[in-house]
Structures are given as C-alpha cells and as structure tokens.
Amino acid sequence: MNRKTPLFHTALLTSMVMSSISFGANAQTNLDEWDIYNYPGQTAVIEHAIENFTKQHPDIKIKRSIHSFEDMRIPLKLALSSGDGPQVAQVNQGGGDMGALVKQDLLVPMDKFADSYHWTTRFPESILKRNRWSKGQQFGEGELYGVASLGEMVGLYYNQALLEKAGLSVPKTMQEFEADMAKLKAKGIAPIMLGLLDGNAGQQMLSAIWEDQIDASKRAPLDKLIYGEGGSFKNPALENAASLMQNWSKKGYFFPGFQGIGHDDAATLFQNGQAAFFISGTWYSGQFKTSKDIHFVAMPKFAGVDKPLMVGGTDLPFSITLTAKSDQQQQTAAQFIDYLVSGEVAADWLSHGFLPAAQADEVILPKDNQLLGDIYTAWVQVNKDNALGHYVDWSTPSMLATLNENVQMLMAEKITPKQLTSNLDKNYQDYMTSLGH
C-alpha cells in the first residue's frame, strides 16, 4: 500500500516482457486462482481479464475461486499447509496472513519477476514495501511477495441530498462534522451509518479517526509502529479517536441497531439513503457508482493538522504460492499477475468505478461516474501530500482480531478508551517480545 508517490506510471511493457519469457510449446499450464472480488463490478473485471488473458495464451488455463475476506485467511493457510490450494491468491499484508505464510515458506519470492516486469519502476517502493517480508519476519523489508491491482482509501462518504435537506454543506473540519451530526439527529436523519457485527468496519473507523490526527510531516512514529520497529499504542490521538466514537454512540449519532449489522449490509443501507455519512473504504465505489447523491472526500480535518494521514494504500496483493511447483508454473503465475496489474486491466477497473493502483499518465475517468472523480481527486492529493497511512491490523499477526474485539467492547461501553489503547498495546508489545525486540 502506497504512502509516497503521487502517480504511478504504467508503461505498456507487458507484451514486451511476456515475449521475453519462453514457455514450452503446446504444453498447457494450469493455474488455480483465489481472490476476494465478490462484488458484481469487481467480478466482471476479473472474469474479463481471465477471458482476455487466456485468449492471448490458449496454452494457459485458469480456474478461479471467489472468497470473502474473512473466509480467505484461514482456509488459504490450511490449504497451502496441506500442499493443496491455489497457485495465485490474494493475501492480506498483515503479519497474521502474509507474514505467517512467508514464515512457513508457503509463498514464492517475486523479486525476479518484479525486475522482469518492471514492477519496481511501475510501482514506487513505498507500495512494494508493504508486501515485503524478511526471513527474520521484519515487515517492510526483504523479499517481495505480492503486487496489487487496486488502490484504496478509507474516507468519508456523504449523501448530498440528505445534507441539503438538513441545510448543511460538506464538513471540512472535525468541529463542523460534529455540529452537523447534532443537526442531522435533531431533524430525524441518522448521521452515520455503521455495521459493527463483524468488527472490521469499526476498527477501520477507529483507525481513520486516529490517523486523521497525524500530520504527514509527523508520520514517522506510526510508520515504525506498523513496520514492527517499535512504539506504543498508548497514544493520545488513538485514545481521542476511541473517545469520539464512544461519545458519538452515546449521543445517538449512529444508525439504530448498528451493533447487529454487518459491514456490507451497512453499505447497502447507506446506499439506500438511510444515513447522511459513512466512514469506509473505496472498495464500495463500484456498488455506489449509480447513486447520484453519494460522494467521497477525505476525513474532516482536526485543528492544527494541515496534511492528515488517510488510512489506505492498495487492496490485497496477488501472490504466488508454493503449490506452483515448477519454474514454468511460477513464471505463468507471474505473467498472469502482471496482466492483472496492467494498463489494460486498469482501464477496465476505471470503467467499472474502481481505482486501479497503477495509474497511467493520461487517466480517462468515466463521464457518468462523479463518485470515481471524487475518489481519484482524493487519491492524487493524499499521495501528493505523502499522507497515505496504514491499516493498523498489519502491526501484529493477531491485531485484527484484537482490534475488532476491543472496538466492539468499546461501543458496548464495556471498556474505556484508555483500556482499549492498553489492550492494543499489550498485543503489540507481546509480539515485539516474541521477535526479540
């Protein structure tokens, strides 16, 4: 996930590179591929990519399997550990997922393919760094284990029609945002949509509010924390983020019954006009693209923060697994992954309302998709500001579960914001100790 370079240059070198890699004549190579692109627009792009790729390479057969994010993690690890599973798979960047698979030698290092396909020039090192793991389990260093097809950010979706109905404009500061939520509630409009049932949406909101308080010029401590170089979750800005979420819940700013709603159901409710705001990721942009009232901006700024960090980077990268046993199968897997991150597929992502990670110099945005224009504008600015932040769950193998559990307890008022930061810090310090730090 990127945090540095504003635009990515996707030179159309794929065909040149492909021709430089020789494959056995008339020998069919089979690839099983697992991905989490289960939304209709995403599936359309991947199916189209597979169709085009196999037409160009009739000696390659690809069998696709679709999984949810939650279902991909443990089943993939179990399948690969048993010597089964796909040759190409999307793998979450965190220590509990990619880091664990690297530790068990279940992923193939991709550096030689990165050189052949010019990934090291088409993507900045700040993107590739998030998919690197050393033999000593140091995140952000060592060999490359994946490249991603989509860029993504967690920001603020808003319903323009509901804001206008309440006589409000788009909030630019956190003070304005809180004042607007009070006004919306007074007018009988649910201020914020949230689905806390499966945890992820809550911890993403917490991370977004936390990192929104960190200026890009002061990002070094967070970078070190996420990349396992040390630090602490006993952080005043994190505690403040937790306090805000708990207070917003007490004031009734969240959609009623949010504790029992899943994150995808919450997105659908927001799409149907059931709340004015929705703090979530750009992975919903394809779903929302037909809703003319839905727009996207960076989080409202806190006082004194000029260029706030924005949670994001890329989606789950595509990796080559150890079930690709032969050199030819590994080369074919790399060739297919390179096509998935090519300019041709990037254009298809744009046409379906999604933000590709690799951008060409000339970007043609669909004229009928204002939401994608909003997202692209935010993407360019956050990269220009070196303000693309991190998914906090990357920090330790078990942090995702710890975050989800603690945010749910926070919102149920079973723990305080200070206790939340202490619980997260214990998880982190225990992990640092296990690494010998």
pLDDT tens for the 437 residues of the chain, in order: 333 333 333 333 344 344 334 344 457 999 999 999 998 889 999 999 999 999 999 999 999 999 988 778 889 999 999 989 999 999 988 788 999 999 999 999 999 999 999 998 888 777 788 899 998 888 889 999 999 999 899 999 999 999 999 999 999 999 999 999 999 999 999 999 999 998 899 999 999 999 999 999 999 999 999 988 899 999 999 999 999 999 999 999 999 999 999 999 999 999 999 999 999 999 999 899 889 999 999 999 999 999 999 999 888 999 999 999 999 999 999 999 999 999 889 889 988 888 888 655 556 777 888 999 999 889 888 888 889 999 999 899 899 999 999 999 999 999 999 999 999 999 999 999 998 87
Spatial contact of 117 and 13, defined as CB atoms under 8 Å apart: yes
User: In this structure, what DSSP letter does residue 257 have?
Assistant: T
Tokens encoding 96: 């509990």
DSSP 296-351: EEPPPBPTT-SSB-BSEEESPPEEEBTT--SHHHHHHHHHHHHHHTSHHHHHHHHH
CA distance 181 to 248: 9
What angle separates helix 327-340 from helix 343-351, to the nearest 10 degrees? Answer: 40
The answer for residues whose C-beta is within 8 angstroms of residue 359's C-beta and 6 or more apart is 7, 8, 9, 10, 151, 346
* CATH fold match for the domains 32-150+314-379 and 153-311+388-435: yes
- Give the domain ranges of the chain: 32-150+314-379, 153-311+388-435
Which homologous superfamily is 32-150+314-379 in? Periplasmic binding protein-like II (3.40.190.10)
CATH 3.40.190.10 describes domain 153-311+388-435: yes
Contacts 24+ apart (CB under 8 A), 48-57: 48/348, 49/339, 49/340, 49/345, 49/348, 52/339, 52/344, 53/336, 53/339, 57/335
The answer for residues whose C-beta is within 8 angstroms of residue 212's C-beta and 6 or more apart is 174, 241, 299, 300, 301, 302, 305, 308, 309, 310
Predicted confidence (pLDDT) per residue in 186-200, tens digit: 999 999 999 999 889
CA distance 109 to 143: 6
